[in-house]
Amino acid sequence: MLRRRIIPCLDVSAGRVVKGVNFVNLRDCGDPVAAAVRYAAQGADEICWLNITADKESWSALLRQVEQAAREVDVPVTVGGGVSEERHVRELLGAGADKVSINSAALRSPALVQECAEAHGSQCIVVAIDACRSAAGYRAHAAGGRVATERDAIDWAEEAARLGAGELLVTSMDADGTGAGYDLELLGAIVDRVAVPVIASGGASGPAHIAEALARGTSAALAATIFHDGTFTVAEVKAECRRRGLPMR
């Protein structure tokens, strides 16, 4: 059985880590490089860095921060936000990112996923899916959750995997920041449809929620608030997951 991963998430805006509820009411949670170093020391398997207001910020400034993080952190770093063409993937990998997450641009032009996977390998390409419940099921959202699309999130997950995404980062907008637990229905539907690893995101309040998502078949669980607020450390989460019989890295 594949060993499961714990991934602290850094939602970054204007060079600072922020966190909100349902993608709004953001509060400052500190410096992203310092946070990445702290979580790596706690035993994080990876760090996920999402520049959530990239459309309003300097691309070169992001690259400089990623370069600094890559020098100071000894675990893989996935970076996303503002990636709209293949050269962005190339530049982030060159700056030291291990994987690149694509969201809005992939929804606009799914062929970008295939282009980037062919250029850099599927192992480098993560497609992020921000999903919100609707009368018709789940809808994928773009622009940091601000723009609803007509795409069914579960169908889009299957298409993204087929196009070459090596992983899917699935965030429930309804659960995000609430502490009510991951949307296991959403995650289960996607896990059952794709053959690539799925990362659970949105809603964890502690190790029990993380263990539930991993037990449902996700390959990794991403969390933010519980780590930023110091409610739990990465090591404590891993210990509880192991106690529940889950194979952890």
Nearest to 12 by CA among 64, 65, 60, 73: 65
Q: In terms of C-beta density within 10 A (0-12 exposed, 13-18 middle, 19 or more buried), how is residue 6 classed?
A: buried
Phi-psi region of 177 (alpha: psi -120 to 50; beta: other; left: phi over 0): left
End-to-end CA distance of the chain: 11
Among residues 45, 55, 98, 130, which one is catalytic?
A: 130
Predicted confidence at residue 1, as pLDDT, reads 63
Predicted confidence at residue 106, as pLDDT, reads 98
Q: Are 19 and 177 in contact (CB under 8 A)?
A: yes
Three-state DSSP at 57 gives coil
Q: Is 192 a catalytic residue?
A: no
Chunked into runs of 10 residues, the chain (249 residues) has average pLDDT values of 92 82 72 93 96 76 90 95 95 97 97 98 98 94 89 98 98 92 98 98 96 97 94 96 96
The alpha carbon torsion through 4, 8, 13, 18 (nearest 10 deg) reads 130
* Rounded Cα gap, residues 147 and 248, in angstroms: 36
Predicted confidence at residue 28, as pLDDT, reads 78
* Rounded Cα gap, residues 199 and 12, in angstroms: 19
Among residues 11, 45, 176, 183, which one is catalytic?
A: 11
Residue 194: CB partners within 8 Å, gap ≥ 6?
157, 158, 161, 168
47, β-bridge pairs: 77
Predicted confidence at residue 169, as pLDDT, reads 98
125-134/137-142 β-pairing: antiparallel
Read off the pTM: 0.94
Residue 28: CB partners within 8 Å, gap ≥ 6?
16, 17, 18
Q: Is 176 a catalytic residue?
A: no
187: amino acid identity, one letter: L
Predicted confidence at residue 100, as pLDDT, reads 98
* Rounded Cα gap, residues 151 and 20, in angstroms: 25
Any alpha helices (H) in 24-167, and if so which ranges? 32-42, 59-72, 86-95, 104-108, 111-120, 153-163
19: amino acid identity, one letter: K
* Rounded Cα gap, residues 97 and 51, in angstroms: 13
